[in-house]
Amino acid sequence: MYPRDEKFIMPAEWAEHTRTLISWPVQDSMVYPDDYEAVCDGYAEIITAIAEFEPVTVVVNPDDAERVSQRFAGNERVELLPIEHNDAWLRDNGPTYIVNDGGEVAAVNWQFNAWGGKYSPWDLDDAVAPQIIARDGIRRFDAPLVMEGGSIHSDGEGTILTTEECLLNTNRNPELSREQIEEQLKQFISADKVIWLKRGLSGDETDGHVDNIACFAAPGKIILQVCDDPADDNYAITQENLAILASHTDAKGRKLEVIPIQQPPMVTHNDKRLTLSYLNFYFVNGGIILPVFGGTAEEADRLAIETLSKAFPDRRIRTVNGMAIIREGGNVHCTTQQVPAGK
C-alpha cells in the first residue's frame, strides 16, 4: 500500500504548520569547525525568528542538550528533542510530511546518503527521520529512494518542482531511470506532474537542490532566482530554467507565472563560490524567514524583501543574517522542516 492509494499528498509549505523541526549543528561534521560558535549563533537566530511565529522542535545530540537548552531558557516555543545525528541539515535527512483528504498526517522516510556520499559518516542522519516519526506517533512510509527534502518543492496540488542535476545524478539512484524516479514520487507524495529544471545554482555542492533556485509561491506561480550578467555562470542556468518554465503547465493545466528575484552579488570563500540564495527562505505561519546578506548585497537584499512583500502581502518578512551559516553549505530552508497541521 502506497501513500497515494490512501489519498496522501505532500502539502505546500505555506499550508498551516503545527511546528518547525530543525537540527542543532555538530562541530565534528562542519566544513569549518573553528566557526562552530558563530554557526551556533546563526542557528539560534533562525530558531528564535521562527519561534516568533510557531513552535520549534530542535533535534539535538544528547551531549549538547543542556548547553543548547540554556540558549533558549524562557522561550516556551522552543523544545529540544535529543536524537543523535551527524550533521544539521534536517530538510534533507528528515521526514517529508504528507496529509490525506481526511486530514491525517503521515510521513515519508527517504533513504539518505549525505548528498551522494560527500560526507561520511551519515548513518546517524539516515536514522533521524524514523525516530522523529515515531515520536510524532504517526504512520511511516519507507521509500526505496535516496532523496533529500531540499531537492523537491510541492504546490500542494500534485505538481513537484525539481532539478535533473540532483535527482538524476548517478550518486543518488544510479539504477533508476527518470521515469522510475517519477513513479516513486507519484506513489509516495502523489506527484501528478514533475517539472524538471536542468540545473541549480553554480557551485551548489548539493548537486543543484531546487530550494536554492526556485519554489512555488502559489499553485501556478513560481519564484525563480535570476541573474542578468552574461559573464556569470548563473546567467545560462537562469535562461535555461526560464525557457523550461515557459513551456510547461502544472498538474492542473495552468500556465506557469514566474516571479523573478535578482540574485545577490557573488561572494567567495577560500576561492569557492558560496551558494547565496534568497530562495532559501522558509514559510512560517503568517510569515517568511528570509536570509539577507548585507555588505555589497544591501540593494539586492532590499529588492528581495520588496519582491517577497509584494508576492505575499499577508505575510511578515522576518530577515535573518544569511551569512551566519552559509559557509557550511546551506541556509534557512536547508535547516528546517515544516510539520503540517492537517485537519
Mean pLDDT within 253-276: 96
Q: Cell 502523489 maps to which residue?
A: 190
Query: Phi and psi dihedrals of 214, rounded to 5?
Result: -155, 150
pLDDT band, very low/low/confident/very high, at 280 (cuts 50, 70, 90):
very high
pTM for the model stands at: 0.97
What's the structural domain count of the chain?
A: 1
pLDDT band, very low/low/confident/very high, at 343 (cuts 50, 70, 90):
confident
- Longest CA–CA span in the chain (Å) reads 53
Active site includes 40?
A: no
pLDDT band, very low/low/confident/very high, at 100 (cuts 50, 70, 90):
very high
The length of the chain is 343
Is a pLDDT exceeding 80 seen at residue 74? yes
pLDDT of residue 342: 84
C-alpha to C-alpha distance for 94 and 149, rounded to whole angstroms: 8
Catalytic residue among 40, 215, 227, 334: 334
- pLDDT one-digit tens code per residue, 177-226: 999 999 999 999 999 999 999 999 999 999 999 999 999 999 999 999 99
C-alpha to C-alpha distance for 202 and 95, rounded to whole angstroms: 27
Mean pLDDT within 157-179: 98
- Asked whether 100 and 6 are in contact (CB, 8 A), the reply is yes
Find the domain containing 7 and state its range: 3-340
Average pLDDT, the chain: 97
Give the CATH number of the domain where residue 124 resides.
Answer: 3.75.10.10
Mean pLDDT within 67-93: 97
C-alpha to C-alpha distance for 108 and 128, rounded to whole angstroms: 12
C-alpha to C-alpha distance for 127 and 115, rounded to whole angstroms: 15
pLDDT of residue 37: 96
Sheet architecture: strand order including 17-23: 78-82, 56-60, 17-23, 336-340
Local structure of 136: helix, strand or coil = helix
- pLDDT one-digit tens code per residue, 9-20: 999 999 999 999
